[in-house]
Amino acid sequence: MSWFESFILGLVQGLTEFLPISSSAHLRLTAAFAGWHDPGAAFTAITQIGTETAVLIYFRKDIARIVSAWFRSLTDKSMRSDHDAQMGWLVIVGSIPIGVLGITLKDQIEGPFRDLRLIATTLIVMGVVLGVADRLAARDEIGGRHRAIRERKTLKDLGVRDGLVYGVCQAMALIPGVSRSGATISGGLLMGYTREAAARYSFLLAIPAVLASGAYELKDAGEGHVSWGPTIFATIVAFAVGYAVIAWFMKFITTKSFMPFVIYRILLGILLFVLVGTDVLSPHAGESAG
pLDDT digits (tens, 9 = 90+) for 71-88: 999 999 889 889 999 999
Burial of 251 (0-12, 13-18, 19+ CB in 10 A): exposed
pLDDT of 270 > 50? The answer is yes
Looking at residue 81, the DSSP 8-state letter turns out to be: G
Beta-carbon contacts of 112 under 8 Å, excluding residues fewer than 6 positions away, are 118
Looking at residue 254, the DSSP 8-state letter turns out to be: T
Q: In the predicted model, what is the mean pLDDT of residues 149-160?
A: 90
pLDDT in tens, 106-150: 888 877 888 899 999 999 999 999 999 999 998 888 776 666 678
Inter-axis angle of helices 3-16 and 228-252, nearest 10: 20
Please tell me whether the overall predicted TM-score, pTM, comes out greater than 0.85 for this model: yes
List the single range of 73-77, 166-170, 211-215 with lowest mean pLDDT.
Answer: 211-215
27 neighbors 219 (Cβ within 8 angstroms): no
Instruction: Describe the chain by its helix, strand, coil percentages, rounded to 5.
Output: 75, 0, 25
Q: Which residues of 47-85 are buried (b: 16+ CB within 10 A; e: fewer)?
A: bbbbbbbbbeebbeeebebbeebbebbeeeeebeebebb
pLDDT of 205 > 50? The answer is yes
How far apart (Å, rounded) are the C-alpha atoms in residues 120 and 272? 6
149 neighbors 142 (Cβ within 8 angstroms): yes
pLDDT of residue 226: 61
Phi, psi of 281 (to 5 degrees): -125, 140
pLDDT in tens, 226-252: 678 888 999 999 999 999 999 999 888
